[in-house]
């Protein structure tokens, strides 16, 4: 089986006349269609809001597209808050979900009027010291522990995760927050990552809805929203069936009617914090084959590396690869597709069956729209690539330029050697 890229070989050849490989390319049409489908799937809930996980793809040009569909920003750091503010997403357009949070980040989030989601019960006192009060609107992150299962399949292990409060701590936290002036409460949880099943969100919703009913009964807290966070995944492999967001939304609605409505909590707003689902399939890494090596294995060296896409090296993650112009040729060659880092795990694919690859061929590495560019780093002094947007009309927009050596050396600018390096690289 194969995946079809959203870009053609001819388009890539035209783009590379202006922007050399490697680069990340995003599909505006796909992003818009997906955002519209999500909004429609949860339209049954009047207070519904998606808070895009900025960490997944921190590019203002892309996030602004989502903003057109009513999306807010899920932030987890100071710079993500800065990015959100610069785009005009402030107040209840920000959900600040962080952990091990520095004091200045709580202060900035409070200044912007963000809804703060506390990861631990000890953060109540820490937050109060940081900002001088407890906000009237606040959320707590819940971790029920144990294993999270769907039928007999283990989806993830929340009990081994560093995030969230226990059941007992949630009750105590709500009581403390209420005594300190909090008036509107939210619940948040993330129990499994990258699930490719329509059952995950409804099952998570049932856990959170039942906890919400219990908390409201035991503490008298007014729960106004429940945040299902992320976890809806994408089919990285071509034989996987994509999630049906409309079926997921309907599944959550059924549980809402079953649990919350009878408890007279039918006014609770549903929030989501999707990243991978919103952007993952609508980005790809375009790279060129520049070397071939025949030793104990067959290697194809490309001009991208783990700096551009870390997931295969870090997790052994699968990303489908299309050799452009050879989509109809038999996959009868076994290759390791490698980058140039001085690390043996710098491989985009291992023992992958692909058509014969020649130097100069363009390779499209699929599903890099989330946690692709954003996880980049600068090992070996490698520089991060440009980001480009393939517009609906077929034109291409630069939405982040490629790094230069001057960027790499910029943090030495307070030293003589740094000034020398920066001046040198800025002058051809």
Residue 151 has pLDDT above 70, yes or no: no
Residue 159 has pLDDT above 60, yes or no: yes
Nearest CA-CA partner of 216 in 264, 257, 253, 160? 264
The pLDDT confidence band at residue 428, using thresholds 50, 70 and 90, is: very low
The pLDDT confidence band at residue 156, using thresholds 50, 70 and 90, is: low
The DSSP output letter for 286 is E
The pLDDT confidence band at residue 145, using thresholds 50, 70 and 90, is: confident
Looking at residue 148, its pLDDT comes to 64
The pLDDT confidence band at residue 421, using thresholds 50, 70 and 90, is: confident
Q: For residues 70 and 50, what is the distance between their CA atoms, to the nearest angstrom? A: 7
Q: Give tens-digit pLDDT for 92-125.
A: 999 999 999 999 999 999 999 999 999 999 999 9
- The mean pLDDT value for 9-31 works out to 98
For the domain bounded by 281-411, which CATH number is listed?
2.40.37.10
- The mean pLDDT value for 395-413 works out to 95
Give the ranges where 233-316 is alpha helix by DSSP (H).
Answer: 245-255, 276-279, 311-315
C-alpha pair distances (Å), 316 with each of 59, 80, 334, 358, 386:
25, 27, 18, 25, 24
- The mean pLDDT value for 348-375 works out to 98
Looking at residue 192, its pLDDT comes to 85
Q: What are phi and psi of 345, to 5 degrees?
A: -85, 5
Share of the chain above pLDDT 70, in %: 96
The pLDDT confidence band at residue 142, using thresholds 50, 70 and 90, is: very high
Residue 61 has pLDDT above 60, yes or no: yes
Structure tokens at 152: 């007999």
- The mean pLDDT value for 394-399 works out to 98
107-144 core/surface letters (b: 16 or more CB in 10 A; e: else)? ebbbebebbbbbbbbebbeebbebbeebbebbbbbbbb
Give how far the C-alpha of residue 54 lies from the chain's centroid of Cα atoms, to the nearest Å.
7
Listed range (31-40, 133-142, 406-415) with the worst mean pLDDT: 406-415
C-alpha pair distances (Å), 32 with each of 27, 62, 71, 303, 395:
9, 10, 12, 30, 16
Q: Give tens-digit pLDDT for 290-345.
A: 999 999 999 999 999 999 999 999 999 999 999 999 999 999 999 999 999 999 99
Q: CA 248, 251, 256: angle at the middle one, nearest 5?
A: 125
pTM for this structure?
0.95
Sorted by sequence, the CB contacts under 8 Å of residue 287 that are 6+ apart come out as 21, 22, 302, 303, 304, 308, 362, 363, 365
Average pLDDT, the chain: 95
For the domain bounded by 28-279, which CATH number is listed?
3.20.20.10
Looking at residue 420, its pLDDT comes to 87
Note whether 349 and 371 are within 8 A (CB): no
Q: CA 295, 301, 306: angle at the middle one, nearest 5?
A: 120
Looking at residue 2, its pLDDT comes to 86
Q: For residues 396 and 400, what is the distance between their CA atoms, to the nearest angstrom? A: 12
Note whether 390 and 6 are within 8 A (CB): yes
CA dihedral sign, ordered 85, 91, 98, 252? negative
Residue 426 has pLDDT above 70, yes or no: no
Q: Give tens-digit pLDDT for 186-197.
A: 999 988 888 999
Q: Is residue 148 exposed (0-12), middle (13-18) or buried (19+ Cβ within 10 Å)?
A: buried
**Higher pLDDT residue, 291 or 424?**
291
Looking at residue 427, its pLDDT comes to 43
- The mean pLDDT value for 51-74 works out to 98
Residue 356 has pLDDT above 80, yes or no: yes
What are the extents of the domains in the chain? Answer: 28-279, 281-411
HSE, side-chain direction, 13 A CA sphere, residue 198: 14
Residue 253 has pLDDT above 50, yes or no: yes
- Give me the residue label for tokens 């979900």: 97
Q: Give tens-digit pLDDT for 6-17.
A: 999 999 999 999
The pLDDT confidence band at residue 157, using thresholds 50, 70 and 90, is: low
Residue 53 has pLDDT above 60, yes or no: yes
Sorted by sequence, the CB contacts under 8 Å of residue 96 that are 6+ apart come out as 75, 76, 81, 105, 109, 114, 115, 116, 117
């Amino acid at each position: 089986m194969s995946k079809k890229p959203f870009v053609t070989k001819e388009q890539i050849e035209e783009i590379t006349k202006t922007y050399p490989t490697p680069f990340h390319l995003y599909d505006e049409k796909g992003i818009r269609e997906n955002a519209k489908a999500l909004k429609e799937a949860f339209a049954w809930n009047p207070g519904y809001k998606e808070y895009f996980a900025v960490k997944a793809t921190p590019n203002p040009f892309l996030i602004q597209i989502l903003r057109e569909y009513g999306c807010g920003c899920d932030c987890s750091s100071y710079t993500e808050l800065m990015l959100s503010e610069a785009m005009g997403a402030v107040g209840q357009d920000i959900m600040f979900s962080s952990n091990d949070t520095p004091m200045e980040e709580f202060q900035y989030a409070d200044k912007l009027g963000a809804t703060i989601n506390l990861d631990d019960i000890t953060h109540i006192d820490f937050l109060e010291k940081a900002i001088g009060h407890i906000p009237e609107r606040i959320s707590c992150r819940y971790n029920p522990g144990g294993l999270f299962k769907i039928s007999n399949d283990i989806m993830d292990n929340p009990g081994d995760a560093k995030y969230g409060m226990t059941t007992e701590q949630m009750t105590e936290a709500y009581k403390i927050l209420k005594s300190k002036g909090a008036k509107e409460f939210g619940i948040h949880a993330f129990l499994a990552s990258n699930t490719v099943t329509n059952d995950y969100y409804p099952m998570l919703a049932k856990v959170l809805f039942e906890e919400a009913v219990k908390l409201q009964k035991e503490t008298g807290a007014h729960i106004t929203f429940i945040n299902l966070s992320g976890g809806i995944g994408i089919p990285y492999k071509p034989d996987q069936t994509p999630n049906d967001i409309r079926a997921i939304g309907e599944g959550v609605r059924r549980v809402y009617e079953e649990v919350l409505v009878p408890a007279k909590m039918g006014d609770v707003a549903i929030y989501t914090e999707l990243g991978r689902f919103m952007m993952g399939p609508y980005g790809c890494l375009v790279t060129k084959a520049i070397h071939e090596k025949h030793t104990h294995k067959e290697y194809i060296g490309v001009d991208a590396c783990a700096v551009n896409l870390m997931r295969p090296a870090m997790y052994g993650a699968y990303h489908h690869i299309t050799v452009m112009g050879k989509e109809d040729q038999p996959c009868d060659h076994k290759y390791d597709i490698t980058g140039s880092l001085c690390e043996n795990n710098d491989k985009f694919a291992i023992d992958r069956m692909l058509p014969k690859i020649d130097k100069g061929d363009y390779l499209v590495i699929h599903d890099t729209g989330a946690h692709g560019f954003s996880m980049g780093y600068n090992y070996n002094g490698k520089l991060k690539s440009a980001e480009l947007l393939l517009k609906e009309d077929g034109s291409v927009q630069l939405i982040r330029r490629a790094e230069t050596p001057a960027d790499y050396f910029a943090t030495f600018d307070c030293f003589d050697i740094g000034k020398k390096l920066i001046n040198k690289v800025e002058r051809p």
